Amino acid sequence: MTSKWQWWLNQIVRRIWFRATLFSVGGVVTALLAVAFSSYIPAELPAKIGADAVDKILGIIASSMLTVTTFSLSTMVAAYSAATNNVTPRATKLVMEDSTTQNVLATFVGSFLFSLVGIIALATGAYGDQGRVILFVVTMGVIILIIVTLLRWIDHLSRLGRVTETTERVEKATIEALRSWIESPCLGGKELEDNDPRLSAPNTPVHQPEVGYVQHVDGGALGQISEELDVEIAVVAIAGKLVAPNIPLAWIIGDVDEEGQKRIASAFTIGDVRSFDQDPRFGAAVLAEIASRSLSQAINDSGTAIDLISRYIRVLTVWDEHADEIDVQYPRLHVAPIRLEDVFDDLFIPLARDGAAILEVGIRLQKAFITLSGFRHPEFKRIAVQHSRSAIKRAEATSMIEEDLDKLRRIAGLLGPA
């Protein structure tokens, strides 16, 4: 469970400009270090290693890195467009956060600035003969770094923006968010029931002035505030919920002043779009969106839909790994839960609806429900049977022939009663 500031830092680190800035600063500093350490180089060494050729090498790096960076940026933009058109616009954010792509662009930009600063310093005579030796050695290291980066970039370009690669990123983001929630359910607090009496007067609702989605809730901060103010806090707006000025984020059980309410409201981060980090249901919805798009008439790719079903199972496997005994870290904090049946609905309803008339999709769905019904968590059996029956009803409402329907019914019959 991350604090609000840790979450903000993670968001900044994932931005493409962050690594590019770090590498750029590193390139400039590296080019200038030769000036500082030039006095430690013996006077006769430059002639022996041919350090006078460094200016030509730097010129080649400067011109080539500018070209390669421009080409890489255009390739990256094309990959974002492909992910938007072939997968879903919601997955583009994950493609943009790809660490390999960011490292490649940062390396190219940093190398360009390193060579540019080196050329300028050489033209002013700042290095001297001894400084040229250090610059020459560092330049050789930069060339090796560029070669390794180019080889990695060539390999990575074959997968960047592809349906399978992007879908895998969404799956991993969903699994990470779900595992984080399972390991610390309800943000370390107690589970809040739907009709809990705390969610009404005379208790105090906490509001905020924005309209948007909750992207992050700092459960640790809320737990600490509840102890300091000697109150109970009931969180109703977990990550993924759409809020507005008239919708409460939480309810306070106890006396608290306006400053205390502001502290509680500051633990919630509101944004224009949903975030994958603390919202596993958003990841599940994006996976379902990819599956539905693959079954559209424009794409008609049932193979991708079938692949998504196996990913659904891997995502739900995480839920089955949770501990039976839940350790409550903040007894004064009550948080609305994420329910297993809601995750099932997010994943399977769109696919069962859009693939109802496709036999191979229906068969794979029923086999998935059989697999899920055997999971350790007691709720899996009941929910899997419900979704299996609903999928059969949807198939029966289509123009699927009776022989195919019988196949689906026979497979669904292996589930048994709920």
Residue 386, classified by CB atoms within 10 Å of its CB into exposed (0-12), middle (13-18) or buried (19+), is middle
322's CB contacts (< 8 A; 6+ apart) are 182, 183, 185, 377
Q: Is the peptide bond before 202 cis (omega within 30 degrees of 0)?
A: yes
pLDDT at 198: 81
Percent of the chain past pLDDT 90, that is, above it, reads 49
Run of H or E residues at 235: strand 232-235
Distance, C-alpha 41 to centroid of its chain? 48
pLDDT at 394: 95
Rounded distance, CA 367 to CA 415, Å? 9
pLDDT at 43: 53
Rounded distance, CA 416 to CA 418, Å? 7
Q: Kindly report, residue by residue over 115-143, the tens digit of the pLDDT.
A: 888 888 877 777 666 667 778 888 888 89
pLDDT at 130: 67
- Strands 333-335 and 232-235: what pairing? parallel
Q: Kindly report, residue by residue over 138-184, the tens digit of the pLDDT.
A: 888 889 999 999 998 888 887 887 888 889 999 999 999 999 998 88
pLDDT band at 34 (very low <50, low <70, confident <90, very high): low
Specify the 3-state DSSP secondary structure of 375. Answer: coil
Residue 83, classified by CB atoms within 10 Å of its CB into exposed (0-12), middle (13-18) or buried (19+), is buried
Q: Kindly report, residue by residue over 303-324, the tens digit of the pLDDT.
A: 999 999 999 999 999 998 865 5
Reported pTM? 0.86
Residue 47, classified by CB atoms within 10 Å of its CB into exposed (0-12), middle (13-18) or buried (19+), is exposed
Average pLDDT value for residue range 179-190: 89
Sign of the alpha-carbon dihedral angle for 183, 187, 190, 194: negative
DSSP state of 3: -
Distance, C-alpha 252 to centroid of its chain? 32
Q: Kindly report, residue by residue over 63-73, the tens digit of the pLDDT.
A: 898 888 888 88
pLDDT reading at 47 higher than 50: no
pLDDT at 341: 94
Run of H or E residues at 191: strand 190-191
Helix boundaries (H) for 87-98: 92-96
Which tokens is 163 given?
């349906």
Q: Kindly report, residue by residue over 195-215, the tens digit of the pLDDT.
A: 888 888 788 999 999 999 999
pLDDT reading at 52 higher than 80: no
pLDDT at 325: 55
CB–CB of 171/84 below 8 Å?
A: no
Average pLDDT value for residue range 401-416: 89
Rounded distance, CA 101 to CA 8, Å? 21
Q: Kindly report, residue by residue over 363-372, the tens digit of the pLDDT.
A: 999 999 999 9
Which tokens is 2 given?
């991350």
337's CB contacts (< 8 A; 6+ apart) are 185, 186, 191, 192
Looking at per-residue confidence, does 338 or 417 come out higher?
Answer: 338
